[in-house]
A = this chain, B = another copy of it.
């Protein structure tokens, strides 16, 4: 530890993302990427953005992309914020809406970046227990002092709350901001975007990484009351005037105009998810009903052993060495061929 580090740097507990193996001949089911490529229209728009204008800064206000997102989500452009991945959007939201000395609440088992942000920005937090079936116990999220955040569907479980349940959380936290992290919502859960009209304390965050197969361009956004959006802009504009590069902007704008392609690939992922669930259940694995592009699975053997055995066979899944979920693995949904290979290799591990 360095004498030159700030207290903040010393006390930071950095997030550890899923492995990104350099080998390309592996089956990568560990970071919830989409198995299908971005649409040809998206790639074409990105090619067109590669020109001499790259010498210029991108738009600091990303007006065109905000207009497109607003039309898609049926809100005004002033209800839209755009960031360099939804992780950046969440980091700004923690700074804009949560405070030191006011504990926030989030589920005990959830996206493990939340406590990382909280540590970085000195925001105290309370992890609230889930029900024994891993569903979120809504009442545990009532009456927060400093705010609430949870993914819907939750990660890594894939379980979703219904809108009525989300509305009760909002009604029991009227003086605090409630962030619904909808990174995986397009794979089957209900979006809370329409509730942003009724609840000025609701921020919904989204990403193009999974649903639009664009993890590589880093593009996230948020929808909320314009006062919340202004709060995010104040933080962003105190941090970096230009967070989104020109080529990613072009790709995102095109992706939102090509929804037929993406709804087709999303439907394919959902079908493959159902096939995989059935196949794993027939091996006596416990599979939680998922509305995301991954499955949370309790194998009929040691979970860490299965994770390691699959890795030896060139299949990456995610294992969390964390209390209450260390008996499970999380499997991203790949192509049919990849999932057939997964099931085949699991059968071989069982019989070996």
Chain B nearest CB from A110 CB (Å) reads 16
Given the known interface contacts A31-B57, A237-B15, the answer about A95 and B37 at a Cβ–Cβ threshold of 8 Å is no
Q: How far does the alpha carbon of A228 sit from the alpha carbon of B1 in the complex, in Å?
A: 10
A246 within 8 A of B: yes
* A interface bracket (residues with beta carbon within 8 Å of B): 35 or more
A223-247 interface (Cβ within 8 A of B): 227-228, 230-231, 233-235, 237-247
Cβ-defined contact, A227 with B4, below 8 A:
yes
Given the known interface contacts A88-B240, A235-B9, A239-B88, the answer about A33 and B55 at a Cβ–Cβ threshold of 8 Å is yes
Contacts of A218 in B (CB 8 A): 58, 242-245
CB-nearest residue of chain B relative to A59? B20
A166-203 interface (Cβ within 8 A of B): 175-177, 200-201
A269-295 interface (Cβ within 8 A of B): none
Of listed A5, A28, A175, A233, residue having the most chain B CB within 10 A:
A5
Contacts of A12 in B (CB 8 A): 234-235, 237-238
Cβ-defined contact, B50 with A46, below 8 A:
yes
- Chain A at the B interface: SS class: loop
Q: How far does the alpha carbon of A55 sit from the alpha carbon of B255 in the complex, in Å?
A: 12
Contact with B along A301-316 (1 / 0, CB 8 A): 0000000000000000
Contacts of A58 in B (CB 8 A): 215-216, 218
A256 within 8 A of B: no
Contacts of A43 in B (CB 8 A): 50-51, 54
Contacts of A231 in B (CB 8 A): 2, 4-6, 9
Of listed A7, A34, A38, A247, residue having the most chain B CB within 10 A:
A247
CB-nearest residue of chain B relative to A19? B60
Partner pick for A120 among B3, B120, B175, B235, CB 8 A cutoff: B235
Cβ-defined contact, A239 with B91, below 8 A:
yes
Q: How far does the alpha carbon of A248 sit from the alpha carbon of B219 in the complex, in Å?
A: 13
Q: Which of A96-104, A136-144, A156-164, A344-352 contacts B (4 or more CB under 8 A)?
A: A96-104
A-B contact pairs, 22 of them (CB 8 A): A4-B177, A8-B99, A9-B95, A12-B234, A15-B237, A15-B241, A33-B55, A35-B55, A36-B55, A37-B52, A43-B54, A47-B47, A50-B50, A58-B215, A84-B245, A87-B240, A87-B242, A95-B120, A116-B238, A117-B239, A217-B247, A218-B242
> A residues bordering B, Cβ < 8 Å?
2-9, 12-17, 20, 28, 31, 33-38, 43, 46-47, 50-60, 84-85, 87-88, 91, 95-99, 116-117, 119-120, 175-177, 200-201, 209, 213-218, 227-228, 230-231, 233-235, 237-248, 251
